[in-house]
Amino acid sequence: MFHAGDIIAYLDMCKFEGVSLQRGMNFHLHNGLSVVLMSLRKGAPYEDRVEDNWQTLIYEGHDIPKDKSGLNPKQTDQPLTTGNGKPTQNGLFYNAAIKYKAGAPAEKVRVYEKIKNGIWAYTGLFNLVDAWIEQNTRKVIKFKLKLIEEESTLISSKANSNIEHTRVIPTSIKLDVWKRDKGMCTLCGSKDNLHFDHIIPFSKGGSSITLNNIQLLCARHNIAKKDRIE
């Protein structure tokens, strides 16, 4: 099981999900969860964005595939159905969001974020709570996802009664930490099973948005540290 902030190589992510994650959107896989991949980097293909201090994610639906019909995917409506009327991944997520608004349980979605080529971070588990279509020069589908807080997060945020406090580390901080720590555990130099670690733990009020409070640790040192603190 991954925890928010874990850094994952692309192949390990596919192995964990039991599917080759070629697509950014993967509705309801065998484990009963959906998976979306997002990128908040400059020049990313889709306009994914976060709101409410990472409690909310606005995820953009996907374009038609490049290889079809010679149409420019960025100038063509994002499809809810394929040519033969079957729902696309857009359609599957869209229908689930509409059902949720009519009272069905929310589809749970694991979100991974691209840090750099081949390197992904697990952002967390979200509920799919809304979907709508925006029409400008073309139709673009938007999905609203709400972070499901881990139990410890809920307790600590209540204790601090501070809604600005979030466990999720913003992308810009992740990138700066990755660069500063050169993609290695700060204690042993290992490049495997890395995790973005809160130096002062989140549960003790440590900030997610301060560069100086985040470091890279390997799994071994991350666990050793947890044992010391808890």
Q: How far is the CB of 215 from Zn ion (least distance, A)?
A: 11
Q: How far apart are CA 97 and CA 195, in angstroms?
A: 32
Q: Are 119 and 109 in contact (CB under 8 A)?
A: no
Reading the block at residue 45, the tokens are 């293909």
Task: Find the shortest distance in angstroms from Cβ 203 to Zn ion.
Answer: 21
Q: Nearest distance from residue 113's CB to Zn ion, in Å? A: 23
Please report where in the chains the tokens 């081949």 appear, as a residue.
118
Residue 98 within binding range of Zn ion, rule CB under 5 A:
no
Q: How far is the CB of 196 from Zn ion (least distance, A)?
A: 13
Size of the site for Zn ion (CB under 5 A): 6
118: exposed, middle or buried (Cβ count in 10 Å: 0-12, 13-18, 19+): exposed
**For Zn ion, the closer CB: 171 or 222:** 222
Alpha helices in the chain, H assignment, sequence order: 10-17, 89-101, 151-160, 171-180, 219-229
* Contact flag: residue 193 with Zn ion (CB under 5 A): no
Please tell me whether residue 195 binds Zn ion under the rule CB under 5 A. Answer: no
Considering the rule CB under 5 A, would residue 218 count as an interface residue with Zn ion? yes
* Interatomic CA distance for residues 173 and 166, integer angstroms: 13
Question: In the bound complex, what is the minimum distance in angstroms from residue 214's beta carbon to Zn ion?
Answer: 15
Q: List binders of Zn ion among 113-152 (CB under 5 A).
A: none
Restricting to residues 150-189, which ones interact with Zn ion according to CB under 5 A?
185, 187-188
The residues, any chain, with a CB within 8 Å of residue 138's CB and separated by 6 or more, are 75, 76, 77, 78
State the residues that interact with Zn ion by CB under 5 A.
185, 187-188, 190, 218, 221
